[in-house]
Structure 1
């Protein structure tokens, strides 16, 4: 199986869950995931944040704040509306609603978005506890899981944005539900990249529970991103995950995606030494994306310029 940075456009469009897991494993810790907030205007006019992340070397693009009840990606779906300010947003609400209605009825919507971006696509799904006011279209529930499978997402990330109150137990329940619905079609990634309003995860047993419940890849905080998460704790957590036969992903989800390049490189090297199979960089740089240069810096730190430029170049080969 090809390593992930060797996958061509055609490979990405047709890869199965089993093949993708094999590709990630064969890459030996040289896999980059970039998360992008698609509910914000992109930082570059006319180019969506997911496209920009892809062009700077990301292999996997995770859509944050994607609403299954109102599918819309700024930078792609609004490209003909020429929105340049708040007045345009208000005056073109009817056109935006028409696009959302069209997208909602389009079973190939995400497949078409994937053709534009040219990368493996995933979506954040949040197992928000009862009583928390949160958009239904962003919650992890049976209906949205079925939509994720039907739309053709390559993976789902079961985690929590800040102040959602998501707990270890709601993540565990979400994994079990996702495993039942997604089966062999969609990769399940699960864990926390920060407290999400309900505390960080330090106990390796919690991670084993996530893996045994059905997560294919378990997400943990990258060393240096939350208090107390140093290299040694990260290494122990990853060892616990690997003991279950599953893979581990370290995440930068604490706005440090907007830090200096040196900080990104340090986190990347510590994560790789600890045994991470995938390295994630979040969306809190400018307007829903990490600093693009930091995506490339992360990639170069863990796989060098040769494979980084290969990945960047393959985005143009269709």
Structure 2
């Protein structure tokens, strides 16, 4: 079994859920996930945020704020539209979001461009909350996840969504029924998201028992009161329940100095994380690219980081 930083383009395009899990385990805590907001113009003109995150060392790319009813990734789907032209150009852009496009295989098309495992956030927001329908965890959207060809779904909550642990648990159960064994399910909270933080190891174990393949927790130092010891306790419970553990940087510290990222990365590795996530709150919907690389170097060194970067499109 290859380790994740040894995978080439064809591996990312063909590996199935069980193989991905085994690959992450074989990598011994050296897997990097980067989250990117795709609903804003990218940090670098002409290059999408997912492509940029991949080029700086990420193995998995999570698309945040993607509307599954009208999927659109800035830097990819706006190709050929000059956004500097003003209103007419934006009108052209909006016409492409009218729901008439064939969205089957959409994520696979993104994978062909980015060359990484591709996932999407879905949020089990409370009933009655005014929230975009294409971003809510629903049966319809879960069916779209399969249709579009995503490798994984992340059940979590963006800031001020009011997502609760009960909502996440029900969301996992619903997702497992619809996604079956074709798509990885990752679930948990990286911050309060307008409700409560989730620290209780037993709750995290419940997420795994409900069907989550990976359970996410705040990385040490990212949420008030979460230190190495607490993170270690949470991860031990997740592993005991049979799931992978992912530590997350989702409190805008992805825009901190590289030294901060390195400390968080090493503490997360000490705690036993299988996957380390870095969020999207740097500039324009992506962590500072140098911080993605800093996290990668901290947990797997320059040799494997540069290999990951260079293997972006290797067949």
TM-score (norm: length of structure 1): 0.97
Question: CA separation in 1, counterparts of 2:100 and 2:298?
Answer: 38
Instruction: Give yes or no for contact 1:72–1:103 (8 Å, CA) kept in 2.
Output: no
Structure 1 ranges of 4+ moved more than 3 A: 101-104
- Cα distance 1:102–1:117, how it changes in 2: closer, same or farther (>3 A)? farther
1:27-42 equivalence runs, <5 A = 27-42=27-42
Count of residue pairs brought into register by the alignment: 315
Question: Which residue of structure 2 aligns with residue 65 of structure 1?
Answer: 65
Question: CA separation in 1, counterparts of 2:100 and 2:48?
Answer: 17
SS across alignment from 1:239:
helix
Q: After superposition, what is the alpha-carbon deviation per residue over 1:102-160, rounded to whole angstroms, capped at 9, x for unaligned?
A: 77423122211110011100000000111211000000000000000111100000000
Question: CA separation in 1, counterparts of 2:60 and 2:103?
Answer: 23
Instruction: Give yes or no for contact 1:38–1:63 (8 Å, CA) kept in 2.
Output: yes
CA RMSD of aligned residues (A): 1.1
Question: Which residue of structure 2 aligns with residue 306 of structure 1?
Answer: 303
TM-score (norm: length of structure 2): 0.98
Question: CA separation in 2, counterparts of 1:97 and 1:41?
Answer: 14
SS across alignment from 1:100:
coil
Question: Which residue of structure 1 aligns with residue 49 of structure 2?
Answer: 49
Q: After superposition, what is the alpha-carbon deviation per residue over 1:139-184, rounded to whole angstroms, capped at 9, x for unaligned?
A: 0000000000111100000000000000000000000000000011
SS across alignment from 1:238:
helix
What residue ranges of structure 1 are gaps of 5+ in the alignment? none
Question: Which residue of structure 1 aligns with residue 94 of structure 2?
Answer: 97
Instruction: Give yes or no for contact 1:70–1:100 (8 Å, CA) kept in 2.
Output: yes
1:10 aligns with 2:28: no
Deviation at residue 245 of structure 1 after TM alignment: 1.3
Question: CA separation in 2, counterparts of 1:228 and 1:106?
Answer: 43
Question: Which residue of structure 2 aligns with residue 191 of structure 1?
Answer: 188
Question: CA separation in 1, counterparts of 2:26 and 2:313?
Answer: 24
Q: After superposition, what is the alpha-carbon deviation per residue over 1:80-116, rounded to whole angstroms, capped at 9, x for unaligned?
A: 11213xx62x322432233334774231222111100
SS across alignment from 2:146:
helix
SS across alignment from 1:33:
strand
Question: Which residue of structure 2 aligns with residue 154 of structure 1?
Answer: 151
